[in-house]
Chains A and B, each alone.
Chain A
């Protein structure tokens, strides 16, 4: 069990409990957190689960693979700490993780 806090672009916070092994995207889905759409269901096809992970946490997460990197590279509202939340697995080391969400997830 780990605590994860999602912060919507509006500033609204959602602190939720995650099960180990879940993806951060799935944690948001299970808790009805707005701002993560996850159209492709976690297969790194859509980039609608895009979130910003603070540098301190980024160090505890394996780096993106080529597919994730490619999707992020050309996604909308990208920052250096952009990740696809479906590609991040919750581990005990991530207890307290904070993920900020981009202005618009669909980006059209």
Chain B
């Protein structure tokens, strides 16, 4: 599909339709990512008859991001295999996908959005599925510098930009020991790079998991040659004379200053939700665009879904902004129901997966506020599960290398049944019998 041609069409159609009395209802989705793509498809699955316009500023149709830091970086997953659906599917189901089209502003009174090329596009319902962007390293002296070997991992183009430097022997310094940083570290050492990972907290994945799992993951990486530095704060980047390349990284570990030479630097320190369109339009934003359980903002014609949305959670009882594919898909389902005139709030339990060295890491629930952690581990220590208990119930679990146990853990978390911690921790007792 030719993006330019379609952007042009939008303006022409708008002019023409203004003269038509009975306009077909149209839903405009901003952001052709996981959530936006799922919503467009979901509307057609449910028989929506009006127009569906899916606008995305990237050059690609909706694609899955998880393989970016895993198989795609490693060269095991092809570009077109990232695409959630082939272009022909959008045409066949009459989803007007406009790639390379950025929405610049929302005019709520006129019910129009303005696009990057200056044209305007009317909507009856607008859905913001804008995701987020990588949080940049904020260091003095870096403002405005466009560094050729400083990367983040958010999009296909990010990976394409760094590929050429993923050659054996190169020294990669990773800032941030979250999932993205760890996945890239795993791929990089497997490709023969030297890898040093700097993490500010005293342990890996400290925001999302317990100390038991952190040490397991730490060992996993160390044994495979990743140099891990914890309690490390990055203080400066040393640039070459032309200010185009990073040559070294200055940091302090436990307060002691150090420096490292680097051929390339990857920053994986979290995501900033893309909420600017919403806030400029006067919609409430608080760590994400604020929506109700039906994905609606305070404006009845505007919804928000996925990484960019802050939503009520039946699971926690509070508000939450999640960054995961299952959440994007579930939230798109809720929005599709709302747009079809049904009201189906989500009851889903958050879950997430990662993949490091071919080992599956699967997590369900949120461990915040747990009282007890029960672990199960194989004799060789190759597999590992941690269950987080509160009031004798499993509120979350991290399962590494044991897919069957993960499915059983999902049941335990969703049933909220009381469990016997001793049996839970006994590998001899099949988890399925506890979950049943």
Chain A residues within 8 Å of B, Cβ to Cβ: 29-32, 34, 37, 39-41, 43-47, 67, 69-71, 73-75, 106, 108
Q: Shortest Cβ distance from A23 into chain B, in angstroms? A: 10
Within 8 A of A (CB), among B68-106: 84-86, 88-89, 93
Which of B85, B353, B431 lies in contact with A40, CB distance below 8 A? B353
Bound form: Cα–Cα A75–B408 in Å: 8
A-B contact pairs, 10 of them (CB 8 A): A30-B89, A41-B67, A43-B66, A43-B353, A46-B326, A46-B353, A70-B403, A71-B406, A74-B411, A75-B407
Which of A30, A34, A39, A74 lies in contact with B326, CB distance below 8 A? A39
Interface flag for B172 (CB, 8 Å):
no
Which of A30, A32, A45, A108 lies in contact with B362, CB distance below 8 A? A45
Q: Shortest Cβ distance from A87 into chain B, in angstroms? A: 12
Bound form: Cα–Cα A106–B432 in Å: 18
Q: Shortest Cβ distance from B434 into chain A, in angstroms? A: 11
Bound form: Cα–Cα A45–B362 in Å: 8
Number of A-B contacts (CB under 8 A): 70
Annotate B340-363 by CB proximity to A: 1 below 8 A, 0 otherwise.
Answer: 000000011100010100001010
Nearest B-chain residue to A37, judged by Cβ: B329
Bound form: Cα–Cα A55–B325 in Å: 33
Interface flag for B155 (CB, 8 Å):
no
Majority SS at the chain B contact face? helix
Whether the pair B432, A73 counts as a contact (CB closer than 8 A) is yes
Bound form: Cα–Cα A40–B354 in Å: 10
Chain B residues within 8 Å of A, Cβ to Cβ: 41, 44-45, 64, 66-67, 84-86, 88-89, 93, 325-326, 329-330, 347-349, 353, 355, 360, 362, 402-408, 411, 414, 431-432, 435
Whether the pair B362, A74 counts as a contact (CB closer than 8 A) is no
Bound form: Cα–Cα A71–B406 in Å: 8
Whether the pair B403, A44 counts as a contact (CB closer than 8 A) is yes
Complex interface: chain A residues within 8 A of B406 (CB): 71, 74
Majority SS at the chain A contact face? loop
Whether the pair B355, A43 counts as a contact (CB closer than 8 A) is yes
Complex interface: chain A residues within 8 A of B67 (CB): 41, 43
A67/B360 contact (C-beta < 8 A), A47-B407, A75-B407 known: yes
Complex interface: chain A residues within 8 A of B349 (CB): 108
A29/B325 contact (C-beta < 8 A), A45-B362, A73-B407 known: no
Whether the pair B85, A67 counts as a contact (CB closer than 8 A) is no
Complex interface: chain B residues within 8 A of A39 (CB): 325-326, 329
A29/B348 contact (C-beta < 8 A), A45-B362, A70-B402, A74-B404 known: no
Which of B45, B414, B432 lies in contact with A108, CB distance below 8 A? B414
